[in-house]
Each structure stands twice: as structure tokens, then as C-alpha cells.
Amino acid sequence: MLEPTALDTQLTAQQDDRLRVLIVGAGIAGLTLARLLRIDGLHPVVVDRAPDSSHPGYMLALMPLVDRALDDLGVHEEYRRASTPLDRFTFHGHRGPVLRSDPLGEVLLPYGEYRGIDRGALVEVLTTGGIPVAFGTTVAAVHRSGDASRVAFADREGRAVGEGVFDLVVGADGVHSRMRRLLPVGTVGTVDTGWSGWVAWADDHGDSSSAEELWGNGFFLGVYPVPGRVGVILCRPDDDPDLTTVIAEVRRAAHGIGPRLAGALDALERTGDPYLWRLDDARSERWVVPGAVLLGDAAAGFLPTAGIGAGMAIESAWMLARMMRGADPSSLPARLAEWERLEKPRVESAQSNSRTLAKMMFRRGVAVAWMRETAVRMMSIRAALKPILALVAEQPDPTAAVIRAR
């Protein structure tokens, strides 16, 4: 459970910790790290700019990359109860009918389960046991002084709300991270697809263990199951008009899409004003600087195309927590450097995969759509998943990494 807790109260609870840690951003990465550090006896201060815990929410498909973190958090059973197996992936061509349907769950099974969960339910699972968070709070400035960092906090209106001194500041404030601008992390590469996606929830009218995607000519429609319903996303170029017109265009262009995708369009229409996500990302040159790290989307932000950003964020947070186990301010820098050396290439390779998929998915043009569909028909599921399977099959070992960092 997220426990709204004043900044001062959190600073007092932390004062005798062997490592004073600040986590900026109570999202998927920040909460995973916070909970694991608490299990290891620390009291990280956690702040989040959001006024409260009422995040708009969306669906997440999680790769088995998350299993070791869930085991260490002691919440694997809670996770299974709150999520649903994602056994199949079904692709529709740009005119509607199904192109292929693959047993994705079976392909991933040697490494663990592929499951669908609502972001809010995942936050509940990750915070089992409780995590104090100061909501409505952000960081205004970070000053390095000696071996520590002095942090000035502000509220959402920019008014000063206090200061703290920390051995490690963790920027886990998501894809449009402000911490990335406050820390000397080098250049930040971004990809802006020029597309955005409306997100809504719908009743499920189909096989509740299957995700479906329609790669259209100038639009993309996907449904992804979570327990009891499906998450829907409808993407279109930013220069396209409003939701009603785009839905009408999808209905006109794609026939025979089946009750599930048709129901998804109806649900978007009923939602009226669904949340619109911009489909852009960011990649920071450095993750580790003296006294601070970037974590999750703040370090390498993900387009939702590969369905792996949250999985990688959880893995990175778990590796970081395990490598911080027993560390003190003097042993920490070498461990952080080793963490970056191991995690950054893995995350960036997953991010590159999501960028490649975006180039294929977010396109206009009938010729492009036909060529894409020919490629999709010919490629085996294992070949398509090769970059992801490589990541899932070879997860790094934090114990060996700590030994190397000595």
C-alpha cells in the first residue's frame, strides 16, 4: 500500500541508515527499489510529484524478467492473483482479418510466465507491506558537497518545502524525467514517433488469455487482457483529427475485426475523453554520476511497442537493490558503476527493439502495410522474439557483480 507520509517524517525515519537514499518518483521502478531497500533494513525517502496515488492507469504485459524481483519482494502469489496469463498474441492485417495467432506464452514458458496486469494492481502488489511516499513533492535542485548530495525539495507550485542530505539520489521520475535535467548525465537522445495513443478500459468479449493487435494503415489498435477486462490503445499520427473521426476511419478501413476489437472501439467512444499518451522516448548517455543514478524510464524511457519497459524497470531496480545490499558510502560507487555496466546495454537493447517495432507499426501507406504484412506472415514467432528471448534467458547475477566490484 502507498502510505502518504510527510517529507519530515521520512527524513527522521532515515537518519540512522547506513545509506541515506532518496527516490524521486513512486512509479514502477521507484517503488520496486523502495520496497526492496526497506526489506534490507533501509528507510529510503520517496517523493512523487503527483498530488496523490490516483494514476490514470493502463494495462501492462509483463515478461518473466520480473520474477526474481517478485520472489525477493515475497509477492509472487499476490502478483499471480492480480494478473492473468497472456498465452496468445493475435495479429490483424490493415484491412481487419487475422493474419496470424501465436502461442507467445508457450514460447516464453521455459523462462517463466508472461502475464497481463493493470498498472494500479501492480502498484498494490509492489507496495505490499507499505511504502511511505510524500506526494505533491518534487526536487528543485541537487548540490554535491563532499561525499553527499544536498537536495532542495519543492511542491507542485515550486514553493520550497524542505531540504535533505543523501548518500544516493535515485531519479526514477519516468520518461519525461526532470532529474535527468538536474543531474550531469550527458546528452539525452530522444525518439518522437509523431504519434499518440488513446488508452481506455473495455469489457472482454473474447479469449481472456489473448492479446490482439491490428496494424492499420495510419492507425494502430490493440487490446490486452488483465483480470476481468481488457486495456485498449488506439494510436494515430499527431496531425490526425479527434477521436470520433479516427474511430470512424478505423471502422471504415478495417472490416471483420471481430467482437473484441469492435468492442474496444465502442469502449473508447463511450469513454468520451480517454487519456492520450504521447509516443516518445528518451535515452540518457550516463545512468550513474557521483551520488546519483537514473532508473527505469528516466534512464531509458520506453515506447509501449515492445511491452517491456516496466519489465526492464523492475529488473533494473531489483539489480540495483541487490547490489546495494550491505553497501556503505565508500563501497557504493564501484557497485553503481558495475550495475550500470551490466544493466544499461540490456535495457538499451530492449529499447532499440521497441524503437524498431515503432518504425514498423506507426506508418501510413497501403504499400507499406502490404509489405509489413508479408514480413509478419513469413517470420517465425521465435525469430520475431529473438532479441527479447535473449534478454529473458540471460539475466545478470547481482552476487557475482558485487564480487567484481570489490
Ligand X SMILES: Cc1cc2nc3c(=O)[nH]c(=O)nc-3n(C[C@H](O)[C@H](O)[C@H](O)COP(=O)(O)OP(=O)(O)OC[C@H]3O[C@@H](n4cnc5c(N)ncnc54)[C@H](O)[C@@H]3O)c2cc1C
Binding site for ligand X (CB under 6 A): 24-30, 47-50, 58, 60-62, 138, 172-174, 178, 199, 233, 277, 296-298, 302, 304, 307-311, 313
Cα separation, 254 vs 272, in Å, equals 22
Question: Rounded to the nearest whole angstrom, what is the least distance from the CB of residue 157 to ligand X in the complex?
Answer: 13
Question: Rounded to the nearest whole angstrom, what is the least distance from the CB of residue 288 to ligand X in the complex?
Answer: 16
Question: Rounded to the nearest whole angstrom, what is the least distance from the CB of residue 305 to ligand X in the complex?
Answer: 9
* Residue with the three cell numbers 496468445: 88
Question: Rounded to the nearest whole angstrom, what is the least distance from the CB of residue 370 to ligand X in the complex?
Answer: 27
Instruction: Give the Cα-Cα-Cα angle 336, 341, 343 (nearest 5 degrees).
Output: 90
Question: What is the gyration radius of the CA atoms in the chain, in angstroms?
Answer: 21
Nearer to ligand X, 154 or 332 (CB): 154
Nearer to ligand X, 280 or 329 (CB): 280
Nearer to ligand X, 155 or 338 (CB): 155
Question: Rounded to the nearest whole angstrom, what is the least distance from the CB of residue 371 to ligand X in the complex?
Answer: 26
CA distances from 245 to 207, 223, 239, 241, 271 (A): 29, 20, 12, 6, 15
Nearer to ligand X, 82 or 233 (CB): 233
Nearer to ligand X, 96 or 260 (CB): 260
Question: Rounded to the nearest whole angstrom, what is the least distance from the CB of residue 11 to ligand X in the complex?
Answer: 16
Nearer to ligand X, 96 or 296 (CB): 296
CA distances from 338 to 236, 324, 331, 402, 403 (A): 40, 11, 12, 8, 10
CA dihedral over 137, 138, 140, 143, signed as positive or negative: positive
Helix (H, G, I), strand (E, B) or coil at 387: helix
Give first-to-last CA distance, the chain, whole Å.
Answer: 36
CB 144 within 8 A of CB 290: yes
Question: Rounded to the nearest whole angstrom, what is the least distance from the CB of residue 404 to ligand X in the complex?
Answer: 26
Backbone φ and ψ of 315, nearest 5°:
-60, -45
Question: Rounded to the nearest whole angstrom, what is the least distance from the CB of residue 178 to ligand X in the complex?
Answer: 4
Q: What letter would DSSP give residue 159?
A: -
**Which helix (H) or strand (E) segment is 192 a member of?**
strand 188-202
* Residue with the three cell numbers 472490416: 255
Nearer to ligand X, 64 or 96 (CB): 64
Q: Which residue's CB comes closest to ligand X?
A: 27
Backbone φ and ψ of 98, nearest 5°:
-70, 130
Cα separation, 72 vs 241, in Å, equals 47
Number of C-beta neighbours around residue 381 at 10 A: 16
Question: Rounded to the nearest whole angstrom, what is the least distance from the CB of residue 310 to ligand X in the complex?
Answer: 3
Q: What letter would DSSP give residue 96?
A: S
Nearer to ligand X, 16 or 157 (CB): 157
Nearer to ligand X, 96 or 212 (CB): 212
Cα separation, 33 vs 23, in Å, equals 8
